[in-house]
Chain A
Amino acid sequence: MNDALVQVREVHKVYHRGSERIDVLDGLSLEVPEGEFLALMGPSGSGKTTLLNLIGGLDTPSAGEIVVGRSSLGTLSSASLASWRAGHVGFIFQFYNLLPVLSAEANVELPLLLTRLGRSDRRQRVATALEIVGLSDRAKHYPRQLSGGQEQRVGIARALVTDPTLLLCDEPTGDLDRVSAEEILDLLEELSREHGKTIIMVTHDPAAAARASRVLHLDKGRLSRESGT
């Protein structure tokens, strides 16, 4: 028994494309203690997104076990997995994945609609989340009225608003200019340091990885090299 927040044990992930068999993850194991800011690096197609999706319960491994907190994801039905996601994980995507028909605050409020919180509590939480990401003055704006950096901050506010322990970020700065990227990284660092969030961040960018407390490299289905900072 150990108390790492995320435990990935001997996980395999196989995709089939026609008759071709792709072993994306090949017996990968990983432990992420609570509060860690982990950066995952690796060449394109090495399976970083796949691993993140498995940890977030968006996909299921071909073999092996994933435990997050007290939940062994393989034992959950798809319905309980959905409500587990709602309560425990915040996703931050490279392309933000905001809903264009909703304003910034409505986007941030979405995950709260799955909770028992009443309207005024929700509003309070949305305001706090937008304040943390520095976008209080853009609450009524629609995604198309925001810059990429601002959209990503809305994405982060949405991931934060339910106060999950785990934030999964898939190349959060991959589509941003350097200045916006720095701002986002500052924000993630702050969330880790001041709010105690456990963060797993996939990135291509060595400068982004440098912000993390630990960097892992994924290659050929395994974590081939590990280096601390």
Chain B
Amino acid sequence: MRPLRLLHQVGVVTQLSLRTIPQRLAPVLVAIVGMAGVVGVFVAVLSIAEGFRDTMDSAGSAEVAMVMRAGSDTEMSSFLRGEDARLVADAPGVAHDARGALSSAELFVVVDLPKKGSGTPANVPLRGVQEAAFRVHGKPRMIEGRIFERGRNELIAGAAAAAQFDGLDVGTTITWNGNPWTVVGVFTADSGLAEGELWCDLRVLQGLYRRGNSVQSVTVRLDSPEAFEAFKSALHDDPRLNVKALRASDYYAQQSQALVAIITGLGYLVALMMAVGAVFGALNTMYSAVASRAREIAILRALGFSALAVVVSVLVEAFLIGLVGGITGGLGAYLLFNGYQAATLNFQSFSQVVFTFAVTSSLVQQGIACALLMGLAGGLFPAVRAARLPVATALRGL
């Protein structure tokens, strides 16, 4: 049979089968809802990973480099002397403006704040930064209040932190370790990681936490992304220094890897388990569809329609069930979860990272593709049964 004629037959048989859907609506709807559920959960869980990765990725640009002690994987475990920080600021490739090198030596400690709503205490990073920090990091911008003054126990809160935790209203005083801090402003940083942090003057933090003039990291803005290699080798070749340099973008991407992998793995696992259920649902629906269409199929076969056309028509119906379920689930996840804000523990710094669920079109597409596969998987055996249906017997059965 020529392919075109087959296609024509498939069209006719499929059209007929779709016309009988109103008479067997309930099982079809059940299958669609099952698929939608799987896709919805799948997309929602992966949107967590996606949103978290987005936040971590936008935390660092390729033009920004981070310097830590050689052998440290995280800021937490890094330690640099004050003079190391000065050497880094003087290294080639570091950008300058009228006020000097764009370099910020930083130290952070973890403080706790009650979560809004539940009131449970959570860890929040309090970062001491140098004056150039606002020109080094992404694009921090004050949206309320003012910046902290040098030498004073003042802090500014990232917008996401201010939204997630209690006690960060401008003017409030908070005490940690017996030291009172005043919140003097709120800043944004293009939805980057810094928005989940509290910032203060490095010197003040060093003093209150007895760190002398030591820091954990130095963040610098480079002349260009290409300047990184020269900057890096200059630091490595300097016998006075024992440090490593990373692009900030690489550092944050690395930081998010573990959690993204866990969430993604979990998403696939949950989706897989639900998918098994949904495939059985579709299988059941399609078997009952074939059973209720047995006579119609037998009549068509008696008239000369090919078994292959019947097979394909069953698969097309299963495929359509998958498509409708997939679109419903993907769209549902988008409407319910996209932009939903949450905070999670960053395992590397043991502090809260604030991020939003990101239901991307690629996730929705993946979800729909899954649903189509589930539909096909559920339709396959029923389709084969439909083709094997003994015509003579089915015509007798009244």
A residues neighboring B (CB under 8 Å): 49-50, 53, 56, 58-59, 78-79, 82-87, 91, 93, 95, 97, 99, 101-102, 110-111, 113-114, 158
Let me know if B396 is at the binding interface, CB within 8 A.
yes
Q: Which residues on A sit within 8 Å (CB–CB) of B303? A: 85-86, 91, 110-111, 114, 158
Query: Do the beta carbons of A53 and B392 come within 8 Å of each other?
Result: yes
Q: Which residues on A sit within 8 Å (CB–CB) of B299? A: 97, 99
Q: Which residues on B sit within 8 Å (CB–CB) of A102? A: 16
CB closest chain-B residue, reference A78? B307
Query: Do the beta carbons of B395 and A82 come within 8 Å of each other?
Result: no
Q: Which residues on A sit within 8 Å (CB–CB) of B391? A: 58-59
**A113-B8, A113-B9 known; A97 vs B304 contact (CB < 8 Å):** no
**A97-B299, A99-B299 known; A79 vs B304 contact (CB < 8 Å):** no
Q: Per a CB cutoff under 8 Å, which of B16, B19, B307, B398 touches A95?
A: B398
CA distance A95 to B299 in the complex (A): 12
CA distance A50 to B302 in the complex (A): 14
Main secondary structure of the interface of B (DSSP, over half): helix
Q: Which residues on A sit within 8 Å (CB–CB) of B20? A: 101
Query: Do the beta carbons of B301 and A82 come within 8 Å of each other?
Result: yes
239-282 of chain B: CB within 8 A of chain A:
none
CA distance A199 to B252 in the complex (A): 83
CA distance A99 to B16 in the complex (A): 9
CA distance A91 to B392 in the complex (A): 12
**A97-B299, A101-B16 known; A111 vs B398 contact (CB < 8 Å):** no
Let me know if B139 is at the binding interface, CB within 8 A.
no
288-319 of chain B: CB within 8 A of chain A:
295-296, 299-308
Query: Do the beta carbons of A86 and B304 come within 8 Å of each other?
Result: yes
Q: Which residues on A sit within 8 Å (CB–CB) of B307? A: 78-79, 82
CA distance A86 to B305 in the complex (A): 8
1-55 of chain B: CB within 8 A of chain A:
1, 5, 8-9, 12, 16, 19-20
Query: Do the beta carbons of A114 and B392 come within 8 Å of each other?
Result: no
CB closest chain-A residue, reference B398? A95
153-208 of chain B: CB within 8 A of chain A:
none
